């Protein structure tokens, strides 16, 4: 009787089975962000959604939910209106993703205001003020 020696197999990356191409979650998130940015820039006509930047997309481990972080320049009222406009367009955006991407399941979209840019600008302003005030003493 012949026995086969155990040959180590190369380790494979965990796969996301929510899409037929088995993209890793990071790849799926990048693909969603790119596609959403395109549709927001070219097809969404809601006046509440003014100038926004998609700062990132995070996909749940099962691929059924995607949190889209958006940065909105403007007043608090404009930011609130932009998020309301995105929430209103959620079905349109998800439908567009379903038609554009070959996913077995299109994730449900959740929009979250990203205040990272505002925070960085505020810190920059404080540091500039400290630099200007510190040089005069």
Asked if residue 58 belongs to a domain, the reply is: yes
Contact 96, 39 (CB under 8 A): yes
Confidence of residue 1 (pLDDT cuts 50, 70, 90): very low
Lowest mean pLDDT among 13-27, 50-64, 76-90, 107-121: 13-27
In a domain, 108, yes or no: yes
% of the chain beyond a pLDDT of 70 = 80
6 assigned to some structural domain: no
Domain extent at residue 130: 25-136
> What average pLDDT does the chain have?
82
Check pLDDT > 60 for residue 137. no
E strands present in the chain: 52-59, 65-72, 108-113
Q: How many residues make up the chain in this entry?
A: 137
7 in any annotated domain: no
d(CA 58, CA 63): 10
User: For the chain, what is the domain count?
Assistant: 1
In-domain check, residue 4: no
């Amino acid at each position: 009787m012949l026995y086969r020696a155990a040959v180590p197999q190369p380790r494979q990356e965990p796969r996301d089975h929510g899409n037929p191409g088995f993209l890793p979650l990071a790849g799926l998130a990048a693909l969603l962000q790119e596609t959403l940015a395109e549709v927001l820039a070219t097809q969404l006509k809601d006046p509440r959604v003014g100038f926004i930047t998609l700062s990132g997309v995070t996909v749940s481990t099962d691929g059924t939910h995607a949190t889209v972080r958006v940065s909105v320049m403007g007043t608090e009222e404009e930011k609130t209106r932009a998020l309301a406009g995105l929430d209103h367009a959620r079905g349109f955006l998800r439908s567009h993703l379903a038609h554009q991407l070959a996913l077995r399941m299109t994730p449900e979209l959740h929009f979250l205001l990203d205040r990272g840019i505002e925070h960085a600008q505020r810190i920059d302003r404080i540091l500039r003020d400290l630099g200007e005030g510190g040089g005069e003493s």
